[in-house]
């Protein structure tokens, strides 16, 4: 009997579900619009349970084929107690014992993790960070987050909120205040004197050699590189994996990131770190469930 | 037969040796002036070996009573290979297999570590960081360094150089360029219009309520707190232990450090971190050997 993991990536817009095989491949998918259900916790949970069953029916499987379920959520999660503490962008979720609720409903082991750690686990085992003992995975999007693999295991911190690289001080603000989506958007509007310009447009402009667009990404890369130089001096990492929506522009961000690290990180640290782009892209939040179930499942 | 550890703290000025008992207490001490020997590696090693034997004679012990030797050195150390890669302040030390040299001479297990990690190990087991799984030990002196205990073990990083908090970017410089001894000294000279003023004097002035002196330490604390806010957001630590010469002024540094952390770190992170002063002071560099010998001894 083949064993699968169900990976569930809860986002502010969509809930994405995937059936993940032992090799870390997604063999079936579903998705739900979060907002339809977001005012009612029970309805969202019902919809997720239904979607899990639909996934199984699609593949002619039953719950008996499911080894475990891993759920990534955007907020403060206690993976050890299995409790959703707080989701800033989904109202009404405070101290929800989601692990127990889902386990009782599904009859299979369920584990929770925050979304960025889920992505980090996926990149570590199946993505750009394969085989690394000391690396950081950064997500550039509306928020700027990060997950850490240190000494060969996930590092969650004392209260499970480690990795908040977007909130590291930079000049009088924080990194996120310079390179979070909203800031980049607003800055692009000013530079191109067009408040409807999208970041995708600035990417396209850079591709055809537009100097202002190249400079735009270069500046963002310099901010990212400055913060990363500090992280590298502090943690002496082997690799930094960059993901999230904004990382689509990796080729225009990377030169400034690398140059700034070389300038501002110490020689030993900067000589041994690689900065690379995510390999699994948007699937990482689902695939990470594979590792989460095994990692937390063993400890329990 | 009682078993002791010999702890050796190699500094740019002095080499301090101590015989450490199983409870982490130093029962006998010796010290040597580093500069007398620093032009000649072999002479320094000979002098250290002699001092170890003298320590034992003092206590009517022999090398058979020594379970192991731990040596802390100020520079780039490979504790796994047992090699001193580079000591910036002691000329001539490059790629020295000190572990093997000392083991061959002494006939007991010898382990190497950088000085800040040695202090961190000591504070972790016998000092202010007792029982902590996630904490950082910071040394404020000529340099500003740091050691990390993460997930309940020492975190050395990919090339054994993690912890360099003094080199984290701060404004257009680094933390060390604001609060390293030389900078503080120079700044005190300017503020008090007396280039011979010592930091001890500025401490004494603060103690009697001198507003400029209190402001001086407050400013230094704000720089330290800004960098720590970033570290706390990134690592979600439970405790930060502050040591090194400048930490003598902890009571005047602490209010600004804590205030800045509260302002600039995230709420969950800042609410769970404690900032405290070193407990073992200058003995930490010797006492750490006790833990190092056990920690690395077990792995080999």
Q: Where are the beta strands (DSSP E) in B161-207?
A: 169-170, 173-174
Given a cut of 80, is residue B300 above it in pLDDT?
Answer: no
Question: Least CB-CB distance to A234: which of B231, B238, B268?
Answer: B231
DSSP 3-state of B75: coil
Q: What CATH number does the domain located at B131-279 have?
A: 3.30.420.40
Given a cut of 70, is residue B299 above it in pLDDT?
Answer: no
**B209-226: per-residue pLDDT in tens?**
999 999 999 999 999 999
**B175-211: per-residue pLDDT in tens?**
999 999 999 999 999 999 999 999 999 999 999 999 9
Q: What CATH number does the domain located at A131-278 have?
A: 3.30.420.40
Question: Least CB-CB distance to A162: which of B161, B169, B235?
Answer: B235
Closest residue of B to A224, CA-based?
Answer: B169
Q: 3-state SS of chain B: helix, strand, coil percent to 5? A: 45, 25, 30
Residues in chain B with CB shorter than 8 Å from the CB of A155 are 150-151, 235
What is the C-alpha separation between A64 and A38, in angstroms, rounded? 29
A22: buried, middle or exposed (CB in 10 Å: 19+, 13-18, 0-12)? exposed
- All residue ranges of chain A with pLDDT < 70 are 1, 38, 298-300
Exposure on the CB side of residue A245, measured as CA atoms within 13 A: 13
pLDDT of residue A1: 65
- Looking up tokens 């504070």 gives B123
CATH 3.30.420.40 spans which residues of chain A?
A: 4-119+283-299, 131-278
CA B66 to chain centre: 24
pLDDT of residue A60: 94
**A202-258: per-residue pLDDT in tens?**
999 999 999 999 999 999 999 999 999 999 999 999 999 999 999 999 999 999 999
Phi and psi at A13, nearest 5°, equal -100, -50
**DSSP 8-state symbol, B168:** S
**B109-153: per-residue pLDDT in tens?**
999 999 999 999 999 999 999 999 999 999 999 899 999 999 999
Closest residue of B to A86, CA-based?
Answer: B268
**CB contact B117 to A (< 8 Å):** no
Closest residue of B to A271, CA-based?
Answer: B159
Given a cut of 90, is residue B276 above it in pLDDT?
Answer: yes
Cβ neighbours around A12 below 10 Å, total: 15
**B137-149: per-residue pLDDT in tens?**
999 998 999 999 9
What predicted TM-score, i.e. pTM, was given to this entire model? 0.95
What is the C-alpha separation between A129 and A124, in angstroms, rounded? 4
Task: Name the CATH superfamily housing domain A4-119+283-299.
Answer: ATPase, nucleotide binding domain (3.30.420.40)
What is the C-alpha separation between B53 and B51, in angstroms, rounded? 5
**B241-272: per-residue pLDDT in tens?**
999 999 999 999 999 999 999 999 999 999 99
CATH 3.30.420.40 spans which residues of chain B?
A: 4-119+283-299, 131-279
**CB contact B105 to A (< 8 Å):** no
What is the C-alpha separation between A205 and A216, in angstroms, rounded? 10
pLDDT of residue A240: 98
Given a cut of 70, is residue B57 above it in pLDDT?
Answer: yes
**CB contact A80 to B (< 8 Å):** no
Under the banding of pLDDT at 50, 70 and 90, the label for residue B298 is very low
What is the C-alpha separation between A252 and A272, in angstroms, rounded? 22
pLDDT of residue B1: 65
Given a cut of 50, is residue B65 above it in pLDDT?
Answer: yes
- Kindly provide the ipTM of the predicted complex, given to two decimals: 0.95
Burial A96-112 (b: 16+ CB within 10 A, else e): bebbebbbeebebbbbb
Query: Do B168 and A282 form a contact (C-beta atoms < 8 A)?
Result: no
Cβ neighbours around A295 below 10 Å, total: 18
DSSP 3-state of B244: coil
pLDDT of residue B285: 95
Sign of CA dihedral B16, B22, B27, B28: negative
**B156-167: per-residue pLDDT in tens?**
999 999 999 999
């Amino acid at each position: 009997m083949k064993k699968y993991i169900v990976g569930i990536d809860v986002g502010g817009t969509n809930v994405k579900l995937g059936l993940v095989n032992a090799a870390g491949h997604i063999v079936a998918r579903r998705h739900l619009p979060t907002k339809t259900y977001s005012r009612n916790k029970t309805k969202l949970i019902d919809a997720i349970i239904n979607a899990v069953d639909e996934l199984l029916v699609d593949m002619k499987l039953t719950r008996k084929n499911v080894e475990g379920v891993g759920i990534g959520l955007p907020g403060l999660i206690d993976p050890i107690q299995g409790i959703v503490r707080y989701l800033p962008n989904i109202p009404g979720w405070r101290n929800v014992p989601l692990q127990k609720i889902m386990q009782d409903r599904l009859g299979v082991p369920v584990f929770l993790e925050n979304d960025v750690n889920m992505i980090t686990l996926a990149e570590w085992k199946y993505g750009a960070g394969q085989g690394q003992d000391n690396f950081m995975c950064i997500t550039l999007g509306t928020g700027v987050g990060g997950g850490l693999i240190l000494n060969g295991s996930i590092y969650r911190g004392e209260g499970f909120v480690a990795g908040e690289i977007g909130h590291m001080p930079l000049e009088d603000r924080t990194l996120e205040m310079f390179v979070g989506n909203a800031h980049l958007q607003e800055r692009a509007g000013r530079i191109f004197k067009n408040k409807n310009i999208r970041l995708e447009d600035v990417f396209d402009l850079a591709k055809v050699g537009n100097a202002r667009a190249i400079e735009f990404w270069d500046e963002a890369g310099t901010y990212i590189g400055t913060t990363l130089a500090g992280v590298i001096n502090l943690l002496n990492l082997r690799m930094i994996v960059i993901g999230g929506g904004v990382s689509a522009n990796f080729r225009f961000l990377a030169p400034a990131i690398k140059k700034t690290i070389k300038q501002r990180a110490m020689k030993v640290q900067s000589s041994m770190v690689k900065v690379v782009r995510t390999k699994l892209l948007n699937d990482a939040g689902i695939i990470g469930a594979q590792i989460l179930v095994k990692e937390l499942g063993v400890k329990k």
